[in-house]
Amino acid sequence: MKIKMYPAENGDAFLICSSDTNILIDGGYAKTFDKHIKQDLDNLASKGNILDLVIVTHIDADHIGGIIRLLLLNESKILSKVISIKKVWHNSLRSLSLPNSSEISQESLEILKSFIRRGHPKNLIAETEQVEEISARQGSTLATLINKGRYCWNEKHGLKNICVEENSYTSLPNGSIKVITPTKLRLQELLHSWKKELKRYGLTESVTSNTIVDDAFELSLEHRQEENTKLPELTSSGQNIKLEDIYSPDESKTNGSSIATIIELDGVRVLMLADAWAEDIIVELNAMKAQGDNLEFDAIKISHHGSIHNTSPELLKLIDAPAFFISTNGSGNHNHPDLEPLCAIVDREANFMRTIYFNYSTSASRKLKNYQTTTGATFTVVENATNWINIKKD
């Protein structure tokens, strides 16, 4: 198995390839796709390969812009102008609620259209397009593009949730994928939070899935600001601060809806945690552990760009790997990654050396390079790790 972690600024974009399987997980921003992802997909397509699965982990501008760009250029499942896509996983309003058969009042329609007129966040769109152009273009949301392109969506027509309760193990050409988050509860909490947002704008009638409502749902989530605030970096100040003393759980309903997975290809197992909540990951992993499953992986993509709100001490007691991936350039309001969870990862005793891969050089990565572990455990830091990385069975 080989993994490429793209330079997606403060976002995520990963391509995982094995002998017979190719999986794209998130796409960063539109320019991430144009500058980096497209050439790899062109190369795969030129050799007769396909994308077996595209996973959109959750609706967040720093994860979906490149996927929107891919689907715009690909046009449809039949045309596949970039590459053939077998399946797409994406939880939208279409999968979270029943289709809307009743007519929406004109007043409610105007409120929903106000979300749509705002369009995508500016940093999500392609550099070659103007904000007004892509905002005005009909059908530029992810859900609409998947539906119009007639892709196999969430195993059906986008009406099924991708969640723990409905997706145990899904077979792949030379392996499998297991969903470990979200739960149905987290998806319903996301839907409920959006309905509360609509009420604040004056929309009080019940609305369920149709094209206008679906687009409004997605575009409003793209503009959401994360609920958590950045904590001051304490480890670097010379104080001996432990992760368990300052960890606080993520409260973002959008992050709580993330699709986190265990992917096994050619006998190699990787844990891809998206922006998922640590507490939800722990519940599912403990259930696996009780069944005798091994929770040591060959590689782990850390949740939410190394945020202190998504890697808990309890989670680190369960999982380990010789390779860890942290995707962010440190920009944005939160300046990810946080140094404290990174130190906690490498401080644990192990009979192997850990390699921590960053797709950029950040303040935290540079400080981690000079960090001395409390246990004597060995590790190495690799910055600007945006080329293919071979992952072998440990």
Which residue's structure tokens are 């796409």? 27
62 closest CA partner among 394, 248, 328: 328
Whether residue 227 is predicted with pLDDT greater than 70 in this model: the reply is no
Residues constituting the chain: 394
State the Cα–Cα distance between residues 237 and 252, nearest whole angstrom: 28
Which residue's structure tokens are 């190495």? 380
Task: Please give the helix or strand (H or E) that residue 325 lies within, else none.
Answer: strand 323-326
Contact, 338 vs 234, CB < 8 A? no
Q: What are the pLDDT digits (tens) for 105-130?
A: 777 777 777 777 776 766 555 554 44
* Range of weakest confidence among 16-25, 215-224, 287-296: 215-224
CB within 8 Å of 250: residues ≥ 6 apart: 228, 256, 275, 277, 278, 304, 307, 309, 310
Contact, 369 vs 381, CB < 8 A? yes
- Phi-psi category of 27—alpha, beta or left, where left has phi over 0 and alpha has psi -120 to 50? alpha
DSSP string, 88-121: EE---HHHHS-B--SPPPHHHHHHHHHHHHH-S-
Q: Which domains does the chain have, with CATH numbers?
A: 2-224+241-390 (3.60.15.10)
| Predicted pLDDT at 171 | 92
State the Cα–Cα distance between residues 19 and 304, nearest whole angstrom: 29
Q: In this structure, what token pair is assigned to residue 196?
A: 């509360």
Contact, 346 vs 377, CB < 8 A? yes
* Range of weakest confidence among 175-179, 214-218, 343-347: 214-218
| Predicted pLDDT at 61 | 82
Contact, 16 vs 22, CB < 8 A? yes
Q: What are the pLDDT digits (tens) for 46-67?
A: 999 999 999 999 988 888 999 9
Q: What are the pLDDT digits (tens) for 318-356?
A: 999 999 999 999 887 767 899 999 999 999 999 999 999
| Predicted pLDDT at 302 | 98
Q: What are the pLDDT digits (tens) for 76-107?
A: 999 999 999 999 999 988 777 756 556 777 77
- Residue 352, helix vs strand vs coil: coil
State the Cα–Cα distance between residues 307 and 274, nearest whole angstrom: 12
Q: In this structure, what token pair is assigned to residue 33?
A: 């796709």
